[in-house]
A and B are shown apart, each in its own frame.
Chain A
Amino acid sequence: MAVYKRRYNPYSGTLTPQWSRFFVLTRYAFAELFKSRFFVILLILSLVPILFFAGYIFVANNKTVQLLMQMRSAGLFSVENEYFIMVMIAQTQAAFLLNCWVGPVLIAGDLTNGALPLFLSRPFSRADYVLGKLAVLGLLLSAVTWIPGLLLFSLQAGLARNGWIWSHIWMVVPIIFCSAIWILMLSLISLAVSASVKLRIVATGVIFISFFVPAGLGEMYNSIMDTYWGRLLNFTEMFRLILTKGFRERTGLLGPLSRNEIPVPAAWGVLILVCLLSLVILNARLKAREVVRG
């Protein structure tokens, strides 16, 4: 029907599959994000380290370049688990910054002017809503963590030959799983914050606080109680512990692991607990209507 014909017409066309509708949110969120020049610059900057890491792999596998650079030491260029730990740490930090910029606006924009009931009055559940928003951060943070991680792995596998890929294939698992838990935790924290705080700058601050304040409190607890379990509140350290163990590293870039080491299952437990806590906050905040208690 032409738009100039002013009359109400029921819709009788086809409908998209129900399971795919969460992706509408993701698509619209990305469209809004890419309107921001700052976001594009931030995304590009997040990927810049990958170029250096790729360059390192190229040099490590190219004897001619090493000769030209007069770096003949065999151990200087090694692409082993330490290298991938470094890649993952750099990229997960980039993901953290990206998340701090993108996360706070995802839900707050819908809550500020009460748009949530419009979503939920459609055949669209709260789980669909959260999934749609989570997919934004999931895809975005994947693009700067495990996807480039796997690309670097593939590059090294292609250049090294001699069966390097088969002796190192196990690294694919920590690259994906460690990134996944970090992405999931970051995404859920920032969605929970976004559902609770409407102002972007405040929400960004709250995300920072949610990482640094518990870590500080944990250290205080350690000092007062003369223990090391307070480190459980340092989420970044718990992630690095999982990462290090995942890459079968005992010493190296991060220094020797101390005797008072938090068990890895406990570290996993903390990160999963943070995810669950964020889900509880989301569940409480994402209501179509305010429930008046009385």
Chain B
Amino acid sequence: MMNATIELNGLEVQLGNRTILHGLTGVLKSRAIGLLGPNGAGKSTLINTLLGFHSASKGSARVLGLDSHTNGNALRSLVGYMPENEAFISKMSGVRFVRYMAEISGLPPDQAMERAHEAFVYVGLGEARYRPVGTYSLGMKQLAKLAQAIAHGPKLLILDEPTNGMDPPARKRLIELIREIREASDVSLLLSSHLLHDVEETCDEVLILRNGQIASICNLVEERRANRKFLELETIGAEATFTSTLESLGCECAVFSNGRIKVVMPDSMEIREVFKVAADRGVQIRRMNHRRDSLEDIFLNAMEQTGAADGRI
């Protein structure tokens, strides 16, 4: 049986007198997990707890089958962490900085040196590797942080807001790198971001946090597989027979006031069949929006919902 990547069992974290995470419970099994939530939702606190920086006041968290508190050291030996904020030693050259970090992770000096060069070339900073990290641009610093996170070959890569402050081409390159890393090896990924697009492009499953609680856990692969098509219709003269005919074709329909109907179409169905049914029933379609259920919908839905039964949507 496949081990869960992250398993949360009533995880509660208090910082000072404030409870930041309120009894999080959930199992995330995918290899690439996105962590979403508005500012102050508890994303970084959750990451810090998984890394053992904060202790759980109640409950527990397991990462790759290891308890984050009792097996913290073993867990951290499997992790590569790219923090959200600035994290470098400004006077060191890039490659020396990455080598240093790799040696702290346990690589022998010669191996650490080789891997540091590889990581720097891999992230596209090969030309700048001998420059002090302090002289790098913001985007280059982000890439240097990624290089130090992958140099020791971790099993789980934790990326906290990796595209922060990057221009669109650099952001695109970083997202491509993350996808490459995910696809080229068996490394798991936990990516925290407030940019839905980043998560959508790199992750298979998302954990959405709100006010320190799980608002939703959503498997994007299943969502994509379902590939549900949404139609938002504004109609005149739509009777119950119109929706029942659509339902007989495999659609799910929700009728609202003023002739507004939301239709979820099956994969096999084409839009022209909706027009055909409407024409047969004498229904005027005055307006139609056709779109797929995006992560944005899932996110907004999760933000609106309160107290979902088990957090799953």
Contact = CB atoms under 8 A, between A and B. Distances in A.
Interface of A: 1, 3-4, 6-16, 18, 21, 24-25, 28, 32, 109-110, 112-115, 117-125, 287-289, 291-294
B187 A291 contact: no
Given A9-B153, A14-B108, A115-B89, 12 more contacts: A3-B118, A8-B184, A8-B187, A12-B153, A16-B106, A114-B85, A118-B148, A121-B158, A123-B73, A289-B44, A293-B16, A294-B16
Contact of B77 (A6, A120, A122, A292): A122
25 contacts: A8-B122, A8-B150, A8-B181, A9-B118, A9-B153, A9-B185, A10-B185, A11-B115, A12-B153, A15-B106, A15-B107, A24-B104, A109-B91, A112-B90, A114-B88, A118-B148, A119-B101, A121-B79, A121-B83, A124-B104, A287-B53, A288-B51, A289-B44, A292-B15, A294-B17
B19 to A, nearest CB: 11
B74 interface: yes
Nearest to B115: A11
Contacts of B118: 1, 3, 9
A99 B76 CA distance: 33
Interface in B54-89: 54, 73-74, 76-77, 79, 81, 83, 85-89
A3 B79 CA distance: 23
A288 B72 CA distance: 14
B137 to A, nearest CB: 15
B76 A121 contact: yes
Contacts of A292: 15-16, 18
Contacts of A3: 114, 117-118, 121, 126
Contacts of A113: 86-90, 134
B105 A123 contact: yes
Contacts of B114: 1, 3
Contact of B53 (A11, A12, A21, A289): A289
Interface of B: 15-18, 44, 48, 51, 53-54, 73-74, 76-77, 79, 81, 83, 85-91, 100-101, 103-108, 111, 114-115, 117-118, 121-122, 126, 134, 148, 150, 152-153, 155, 158, 180-181, 184-187
A233 B106 CA distance: 43
Contacts of A25: 104
Contacts of B187: 8, 10
Contacts of A4: 121
A292 B107 CA distance: 35
B87 A28 contact: no
A13 B111 contact: yes
A131 B104 CA distance: 13
Contact of A11 (B117, B152, B184): B152
Between A11, A21, A109, the greatest number of chain B beta carbons within 10 A of the residue's beta carbon is seen for: A11
A122 B87 contact: no
A288 B181 contact: no
B152 A7 contact: no
B51 to A, nearest CB: 5
Cβ-closest 6 pairs across A and B: A11-B153, A15-B106, A293-B16, A121-B81, A123-B77, A288-B53
Given A112-B90, A117-B81, A11 B121 contact: no
B81 A110 contact: no
Nearest to B119: A8
A35 B77 CA distance: 32
Nearest to B74: A123
A70 B15 CA distance: 76
Given A24-B104, A294-B16, A6 B122 contact: yes
A282 to B, nearest CB: 17
Contact of A115 (B16, B87, B106): B87
A4 B127 CA distance: 12
Nearest to B83: A117
A293 to B, nearest CB: 4
A28 B116 CA distance: 15
Given A8-B184, A24-B104, A294-B18, A118 B83 contact: yes
A4 B103 CA distance: 22
A1 B151 CA distance: 13
A28 B153 CA distance: 22
A213 to B, nearest CB: 31
A18 B104 CA distance: 9
Contacts of B54: 289
Contacts of B101: 118-119, 122
Contacts of A110: 89
A56 B127 CA distance: 57
Nearest to B17: A294
Contacts of A6: 121-122
A109 B134 CA distance: 12
Contacts of A24: 100, 103-104
Contact of B184 (A7, A21, A289): A7
B83 A114 contact: yes
Contacts of B185: 8-10
A114 B148 CA distance: 14
Contact of A118 (B15, B77, B81, B115): B81
Contact of B76 (A8, A12, A123, A289): A123
Contacts of A114: 83, 85-88
Contacts of B87: 113-115, 117-118
Nearest to A132: B104
Contacts of B86: 113-114
Between B77, B103, B155, the greatest number of chain A beta carbons within 10 A of the residue's beta carbon is seen for: B103
